[in-house]
Amino acid sequence: MTINIILLGPPGAGKGTQARTLVEERGLVQLSTGDMLREARSSGTEMGRRVSEVMDKGQLVTDDIVIGLIRERLETGGAAGFIFDGFPRTLPQADALTELLDGMGQSIDAVIEMQVDDAALVDRISGRYTCGNCGEVYHDTTRPTAAPGVCDHCGSTDLKRRADDNAESLKTRLLEYYKKTSPLIGYYYARKQLRPVDGMADMAEVGQQVAAIMDGLGR
Ligand code: ADP
Ligand code: ADP
Ligand code: ZN
């Protein structure tokens, strides 16, 4: 059985962290438009150059670009299910996703909404760093590496902070979230797909809430 879920929530809510657990424990495939866009940036493609400035400011990239990235990945197929992480972020993106999945005879099974206070998001974003080799997500206080400067997961010393993880960009990202992304809460609520979780709890506790939802879906 194929299961597709969306992780919905403001920047820093913990979407990527929970997505990685779902990949490891349940064999789903994570589709993060943020990661895809950062890849395009570092590989120096024309599209990467176009989106760079927009991302650093904390604004949303245009719908056609991110929908195109998702379409490409879905067309390669072959997954037990997808975790959409950071996509959709606008109503047109949500409609496009419904249509793309429909064309594959699939649909969204649940939208996990991670609820986190704005003040906590500032702490999470300002303490975040990731492994440049394997993508593991860390935090200065809530989830530091066991040995300073070395990734627990793969041993790499290439730990980095994102250019847009600063207070100025976060302000714009939050505004963009409330203006353009939060309407999706009503969109999926109306479709009876919305499953809120308390994202303020610690990582393990959030993981348990997410696991309970997944188990209820039969995975
Ligand atoms: P966050 O940690 O803020 O959730 P992401 O890694 O998901 O960050 O996204 C980083 C940036 O990439 C966003 O601020 C935005 O510029 C761009 N981006 C990612 N996904 C989308 C999307 N679905 N639509 C538009 N822009 C996106
Ligand atoms: P998103 O993908 O939604 O932007 P991340 O998963 O990257 O969020 O998490 C943002 C930061 O907060 C990371 O540094 C991560 O280690 C940390 N974090 C994630 N979940 C929690 C949690 N439940 N409690 C405390 N810190 C968390
Ligand atoms: Zn690593």
The 10s digit of each residue's pLDDT in 174-215 is 999 999 999 999 999 999 999 999 999 999 999 999 999 999
Q: Which of 29-43, 72-86, 114-128 has the lowest mean pLDDT?
A: 72-86
- pLDDT of residue 219 exceeding 70, the answer is no
How many Å lie between the centroid of ligand 2 and the Cα of residue 122?
11
Is residue 13 in contact with ligand 1, taking CB distance under 6 Å? no
Ligand nearest the Cα atom of residue 137? 2
Is residue 34 in contact with ligand 1, taking CB distance under 6 Å? yes
Give the rounded percent of residues in the chain with a pLDDT score beyond 70: 99
- The number of beta carbons lying within 10 Å of the beta carbon of residue 173 is 22
Question: For the chain, what is the mean pLDDT?
Answer: 95
- Choosing from 21, 128, 166 the residue with most ligand 2 atoms within 8 A of its CB, the one to mutate for a pocket test is 128
Is residue 41 in contact with ligand 1, taking CB distance under 6 Å? no
Is residue 87 in contact with ligand 1, taking CB distance under 6 Å? yes
How many Å lie between the centroid of ligand 1 and the Cα of residue 77?
23
Task: Show contacts of 175-178: CB within 8 Å, 24+ apart.
Answer: 176/58, 176/59, 176/60, 176/89, 177/10, 177/11, 177/89
Which residue has a Cα nearest atom 15 of ligand 1?
Answer: 60
Q: What is the pLDDT of residue 77?
A: 72
Q: What are the tokens at 206?
A: 């959030």
Mean pLDDT in residue range 156-162: 97
Residue 130 gets which letter from DSSP? E
Q: What is the pLDDT of residue 167?
A: 87
**The pTM is what?**
0.96
pLDDT in tens, 135-155: 999 999 999 999 999 999 999
Peptide linkage before 92 cis (omega within 30 of 0): no
| Contacts for 17 with CB less than 8 Å, ≥ 6 apart | 137, 143, 203
Q: What are the tokens at 107?
A: 């649909």
Work out the pLDDT band at 78, boundaries 50, 70, 90. low
Q: What is the pLDDT of residue 190?
A: 97
pLDDT in tens, 43-72: 989 989 999 999 999 999 999 999 999 999
- pLDDT of residue 75 exceeding 90, the answer is no
How many Å lie between the centroid of ligand 1 and the Cα of residue 86?
6
Beta bridge partners of 6: 84, 111
Closest-CA residue to 31 (of 73, 75, 77, 94): 73
